[in-house]
């Protein structure tokens, strides 16, 4: 079982930055077993992958955020973060932390990010 809690969302102007954090609490397996990711869902849209990172630090990004967002993790602290720079209005969405291991899949409650002037 994994519990995920996101934090760091808020209102920011276009071009600004935010850093999202996700704290994980695991019981069945070590945090390092999980592939961690950030997803987002904008109003009226499907949930989409933003970024993923393996235990070893290999990462991948959606084309829409590549070069602007950076995902990182700290296996000692059971946390994963998403540094978001050069934010655009189209980045507005609820952002969700995700943990995957084999057929196990867990989600946080989400945190709102609003990019508006």
Give per-residue pLDDT as tens, 91-101.
999 999 999 99
Q: What is the pLDDT of residue 12?
A: 98
Q: Are 51 and 57 in contact (CB under 8 A)?
A: no
Residue 28: predicted pLDDT: 84
Query: If you average pLDDT over every residue of the chain, what do you get?
Result: 96
Measured CA to CA, the distance from residue 110 to residue 96 in angstroms comes to: 4
Parallel, antiparallel, or unpaired for β 111-115 and 10-12?
Answer: parallel
**β-strand partners of 80:** 22, 73
Cα torsion for 76, 105, 111, 59, to the nearest 10°? 60
Q: Is pLDDT at 84 greater than 90 in this prediction? A: yes
**8 A C-beta contact, residue 10 and residue 94:** no
Res 47: pLDDT: 97
Contact between 38 and 19 (Cβ < 8 Å): no
Percent of the chain with pLDDT over 70: 100
pLDDT in tens, 20-67: 999 999 888 899 999 999 999 999 999 999 999 999 999 999 999 999
pLDDT at position 54, please? 97
Q: What is the DSSP code (8-state) at residue 14?
A: T
Residues in the chain, total: 117
Please give the pLDDT value at position 55. Answer: 92
pLDDT in the model for residue 27: 87
């Amino acid at each position: 079982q994994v519990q995920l809690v996101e934090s760091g969302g808020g209102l920011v102007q276009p071009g600004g930055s935010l850093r999202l954090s996700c704290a994980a609490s695991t019981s069945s397996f070590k945090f390092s077993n999980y592939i961690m990711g950030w997803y987002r869902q904008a109003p009226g849209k499907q949930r989409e992958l933003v970024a993923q990172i393996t235990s070893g630090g290999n990462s991948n990004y959606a084309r829409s955020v590549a070069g602007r967002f950076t995902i990182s993790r700290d296996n000692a602290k059971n946390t994963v973060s998403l540094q978001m720079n050069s934010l655009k209005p189209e980045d507005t969405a609820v952002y969700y932390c995700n943990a995957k291991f084999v057929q196990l899949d867990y989600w946080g409650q989400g945190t709102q990010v609003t990019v508006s002037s």
